[in-house]
Structure 1
Amino acid sequence: MTTFKDLGLSPSLLATLDKEGYHTPTPIQAQAIPSLLNGQDLLGIAQTGTGKTAAFALPILHHVLSNRIIAAPKTCRVLVLSPTRELATQIADSFKAYSRGFGLQIATIFGGVKYGPQYKALAQGLDILVATPGRLMDHLEQKTVDLRSVEFFVLDEADQMLDLGFVKPIRQVASRMPAKRQNLFFSATMPKEIGLLAGELLTNPKRVEITPEATTAERVEQSVIFVESLRKRALLSELYAEDKLSRTLVFTRTKRSADRVTAYLQAGGIEAAAIHGDKNQSQRERALQAFKAGKVRALVATDIAARGIDVDNVTHVINYELPFGPEAYVHRIGRTARAGREGFAITLVSDDERKLLKDIERITRQRIPSFDRRKDQALKLLDEAILASGQTEKPKTPDRIKEARHSDPDAERVHKRSRNRPGRNNADTPRDGTRGEFTPREDRGERPFGKKNAFGDRSARQDRNGGRGGRPERTERYDPMAAERAPTKAARDFPAADRAEKPRFDKPKGDRPFKKKDDVRSDSRFFEERPARPAGERPAGDRKFGDRKKFGGKKTNTKPRAHHSEPVGDRSEGAQFKRRSRNG
């Protein structure tokens, strides 16, 4: 059997491992540590709970302790990227535990906390820096960290980095580091995008694959319970009636659902706490510490904690809601059955989640045993009893809306009309910001029957609109200029035959002065008031037509055109056409 002494680690590290109680390496540690000690890049594929942290922490510490160098200010020798705050904290704790007594400078950088302590830690120089991509990019933009001295670059949970959209920041971070460094990639699954990223950043890596892609731990006993989505909370409370669920992780899909489940369990007398992205760092740490200490039986979390929680003796994992990705299911149930122990995974599945269950069974290549608890009256009674305690809100479900509608037909209508109605007197609203009381309909005075609003009688509207109330149809549209436009419109509507025979330019023109912008006579409204001028008094003469641009530009000739003395000559439509064709 392989031991840590056979892997070539330094005696000081071996003594620390003996104090911690570690004697036999896991399969990924036995395969990865010799390659890393030889300076090779590594691509490790193994699910959570297999000892990945020690697999890269021990050889890195061996190198750092063998080559003690004082790090320059704002620099670090080892950079470890983690997708979540909890996982970053646990990785840093592992480095501190394995190097206890050696005086290494180890720090963590993540969001949700103040920048001041992080500035101070970076300013003195670090041996090992564990960070999340977002906060690290902030420090790079502020120039409070320098990555040009990095010797080891570790990317943990690379597939979750991809899910969270951190691929671009990872590339930006890699561009700030020296080309000569040792790279370590660890991932539970190996999608195509991770393979492309590994090809960009790794050089002839040693591939270590412990388990096939997306397979669950063999020691986890899985089961599925089919239940209505409205009865999931009652079933969860029923499961906690057993003492076996002493330390259980409950996973939900959304942050709001996590808060609701936590409140429901607390209303049933079960110690529960929630952890998700909307919680600040102190709240998350308090909830995690209470769960580790055994003060909380149920830790309700979103997928942000699926890979960031490393708690010993987690007996059960309950999937209150199935994740959209099958890989997330593998990481969830990987929180139990760690370090060779047994564990249980219970999944509550509603009818709209059956497709997600099929995807999980297909990717894990196994059929999960199932039980049917649908239409269980015991769950309904339990749900009503917990809700009757008054410590949790009633869910706004279609069934409850239907029940309220049958019991009080006007309840839903009054609720919808209660906003901005005449019955709410804004002048009577208290000054303390509270909303005024709604005045019932019968207290607002009587109105004539059928008079809904300014459109007139209700019955008339219903007749015109097919039995439904609404705006009446307008028979006429008032147009103040219709009377003035009517003669002009009638004059244009002569027959087509008359239109063809009528000359185009036979309307007599009067003496029109030269238009000026500031002359009121230039307005078209004054044209008809000018005296008429006999046609034919202004001949065209031997005047040359001005050249024009190809698409209607201005005239290029400078010869002015007479306005009063020259006769117009033949201005018929045919003559106009001949002149245009002759001049091109």
Structure 2
Amino acid sequence: MSKRSRDEVESTTDLSKKEKREKKHKRRKTEDQLADIAETNKSTPTATAKSADDEEARKAAKAARKAERKALKEEKRAAKALDGPEPVAAEVATKKSSEATHEQAPALAVLSQSEIDEFLSKSQITVLEENKKAEPLRPIISFDHLSLGNTELKSLFSGFKQPTPIQSAAWPYLLAGRDAIGVAETGSGKTMAFGLPCAQHIAKKESGKKSPVIRACIVSPTRELTLQIHEQMIKLAAPFGLKATVVYGGVNKDQQRETLHGSSIIIATPGRLNDFIEEGSIDLSKVSYLVLDEADRMLDKGFEPEIRKIATAASGKNRQTLMFTATWPPVVRELAATFMSNPVRIMIGDNATGELRANTRIEQKVEVMDPRAKNDRLLEILKKHGGLKAQADRALIFCLYKKEAARVEDFIRYKGYKVTGIHGDLSQQKRTESLEAFKTGKVRLLVATDVAARGLDIPAVKLVINYTFPLTADDYVHRIGRTGRAGQTGESITFFTEHEKPLAGALVNVLKAANQAVPEDLLKFGTTVKKKAHDVYGAFYKDPGEMKKATKITFD
């Protein structure tokens, strides 16, 4: 240790001793004053004088107690400064005692363990439990095993035969109040998986309360997905008399602010939600149910700082945190470890590593061609599918750029087809109208950029056409994931040109993983896989999971 360091330590020690001597001196002085006052009271003959002295004694005693409390606070403050700042409460994984309970249905309890194991194996459900002491919960195999109670709520599930695998496995844990991570393909029913427990959780919290407050917060990466979740949550919240509100960018803030009053559930995009938190329009301090939907996508888009702020602001008692994702990369694992308490991980499919894979129910076709042949081939496909005039048939045509999407939309319309579009150059109102027309079947052809490629649930999409291949193989998987949803089959046709040559290897891997035929023309481009570039930091981004831990250096 240097001379300067020793001098500083000795100076700090001397100062500490001096403060202790001063406090001891003050305490003795106060005690002497109290003794003098007491002695004076004994010798004073008149009652009036005695009363005045008693008043002085009380004041002196009060001052002494105040001085001691102040000194104690200063000592605690000094100790806190030496130890460093306390961690944010929302970022510490604490052992919480959940108020939620889940009672297993009698019909489910009588099933043998072999029957349960057979169902888990057939549905490709893997449940990984971090809490080794916790007992595994049986999946809800049938809607009869689910305690719905409300007639209006039961009607929402009347058109479904049985829960999807992610719903079957997740519902018991979510209804029991557990933190959970759901890793499943697109179109697997994740919204209903977290939506039903959310509505029941908030209904219990709001029971008997006069003025509702925001108790549930659902965060998703895009406006379209946020609106879609909001649509589902309105149906789930209505039977309980709850209000669900949606906030997202691209529209007037004042109008959205007005809708917040009386809301118990908020569905939002990260950017707009943070804006409202910072300006004080939204208070998440009572949020006890937090959902991060499409978490991997939000991190890919650089929303990690916003997510951390939201998770910190959502500081309700015994908060239940849920994360749903299509992949399980190190960066998502790190985020889960930061904000979740002993989460149970539920994985659907044979993909134990959590890598992104294409839906095996989708028939994938890749056509290698000259870019100038795209328009003619597109018309051939539309003609082959009868112009998609059947009531149940809809097709999504994906383009890479906004101007390209507008051009292709105009070309298809010029050829006599009824078509609409959705891309970044359109206003939010126009995008919403286009999507609604497509979902209702008023228009059965939709030309879109990747803004619509993630999370949108349009059950009747039978065909996805990739007019231009996306920038990454992951985006390709998300694009074709718009078909083959909820157990249905689908078809995708991809136009691939020499311009996309560096992505050929990654596409070949996706096709092979889904047991799809790989065209010979595609193999000619080679099978080398180009490293994926980060959406924000490009090719220079390094995953935190790959970085070495910091080395602590101690100087003597």
Pairwise TM-score range, normalised by the shorter structure: 0.5 to 0.7
Structure 1 residues 23 and 189: CA distance shift in structure 2, 3 A: same
Q: Report the residue type matching 2:400 in the other structure.
A: R
Partner of residue 52 from structure 1, selected from 190, 194, 209: 190
Does the CA-based 8 Å contact 1:74-1:145 persist in structure 2?
A: no
Residue 349 of structure 1 deviates from its aligned partner by 0.2
Q: Report the residue type matching 1:132 in the other structure.
A: T
Give SS of 1:236's match.
helix
Instruction: For structure 2, list consecutive stretches of 5 or more residues without a partner in the other structure.
Output: 1-118, 120-140, 389-393, 523-556
Does the CA-based 8 Å contact 2:365-2:494 persist in structure 1?
A: yes
Structure 1 residues 18 and 302: CA distance shift in structure 2, 3 A: closer
Q: What is the aligned partner in structure 1 of residue 410 from structure 2?
A: 263
Partner of residue 106 from structure 1, selected from 244, 259, 275: 244
Q: What is the aligned partner in structure 2 of residue 6 from structure 1?
A: 145
* Counterparts of residues 32-431 of structure 1 (less than 5 Å): 32-69=170-207, 75-122=213-260, 124-178=261-315, 180-211=318-349, 212=351, 213-244=355-386, 246=388, 247-363=394-510, 365=513, 366-370=515-519
Deviations 1:110-163 (A, max 9, x none): 1111122321122x2321100011111111122111110001000001111122
Does the CA-based 8 Å contact 1:155-1:186 persist in structure 2?
A: yes
Q: Report the residue type matching 1:28 in the other structure.
A: I
Does the CA-based 8 Å contact 2:184-2:347 persist in structure 1?
A: yes
Give SS of 2:264's match.
strand
Give SS of 1:316's match.
strand
Structure with more contact order per residue of length (Cα contacts < 8 Å, sep ≥ 6): 2
Q: Report the residue type matching 2:462 in the other structure.
A: T
Give SS of 1:97's match.
helix
Deviations 1:280-305 (A, max 9, x none): 11110111122123232321111111
Does the CA-based 8 Å contact 2:186-2:455 persist in structure 1?
A: no
Equivalences, count = 371
Q: Report the residue type matching 1:341 in the other structure.
A: Q
* Counterparts of residues 407-556 of structure 1 (less than 5 Å): none
- Give the TM-score normalised by structure 2: 0.63
Higher helix share: 2
Range moving further from structure 2, 64-73 or 212-221: 64-73
- Give the TM-score normalised by structure 1: 0.60
Does the CA-based 8 Å contact 1:109-1:131 persist in structure 2?
A: yes
Q: Report the residue type matching 2:370 in the other structure.
A: E
Does the CA-based 8 Å contact 2:362-2:483 persist in structure 1?
A: yes
Residue 18 of structure 1 deviates from its aligned partner by 5.7
Residue 4 of structure 1 deviates from its aligned partner by 2.1
Aligned partners of 1:370 and 1:230: how far apart in 2? 20
Residue 330 of structure 1 deviates from its aligned partner by 1.4
Which 4+ residue blocks in structure 1 deviate beyond 6 angstroms?
70-74
Instruction: For structure 1, list consecutive stretches of 5 or more residues without a partner in the other structure.
Output: 374-584
Aligned partners of 1:18 and 1:132: how far apart in 2? 26
Aligned partners of 1:336 and 1:245: how far apart in 2? 17
Residue 338 of structure 1 deviates from its aligned partner by 1.5
Aligned partners of 1:35 and 1:14: how far apart in 2? 24
Deviations 1:463-515 (A, max 9, x none): xxxxxxxxxxxxxxxxxxxxxxxxxxxxxxxxxxxxxxxxxxxxxxxxxxxxx
Q: What is the aligned partner in structure 1 of residue 47 from structure 2?
A: none
Q: What is the aligned partner in structure 1 of residue 543 from structure 2?
A: none
C-alpha RMSD of matched pairs (Å) = 2.3
Give SS of 1:32's match.
helix
Aligned partners of 2:270 and 2:521: how far apart in 1? 43
Aligned partners of 2:222 and 2:467: how far apart in 1? 22
Aligned partners of 2:491 and 2:185: how far apart in 1? 17
> Equivalent pairs: percent with the same residue?
39
Q: Report the residue type matching 2:495 in the other structure.
A: L
Does the CA-based 8 Å contact 1:315-1:344 persist in structure 2?
A: yes
Deviations 1:523-556 (A, max 9, x none): xxxxxxxxxxxxxxxxxxxxxxxxxxxxxxxxxx
Residue 79 of structure 1 deviates from its aligned partner by 0.1
Structure 1 residues 293 and 372: CA distance shift in structure 2, 3 A: farther
Aligned partners of 2:494 and 2:203: how far apart in 1? 46
Aligned partners of 1:67 and 1:342: how far apart in 2? 40
Q: What is the aligned partner in structure 2 of residue 395 from structure 1?
A: none
Give SS of 2:311's match.
helix
Q: Report the residue type matching 1:292 in the other structure.
A: K
Aligned partners of 1:184 and 1:76: how far apart in 2? 17
Q: What is the aligned partner in structure 2 of residue 554 from structure 1?
A: none
Does the CA-based 8 Å contact 2:484-2:490 persist in structure 1?
A: yes
Give SS of 1:346's match.
strand
Aligned partners of 2:445 and 2:283: how far apart in 1? 42
Residue 99 of structure 1 deviates from its aligned partner by 3.4
Does the CA-based 8 Å contact 1:224-1:371 persist in structure 2?
A: no
Give SS of 2:379's match.
helix
Give SS of 2:215's match.
strand
Give SS of 2:259's match.
helix
Q: Which has the larger radius of gyration?
A: 1
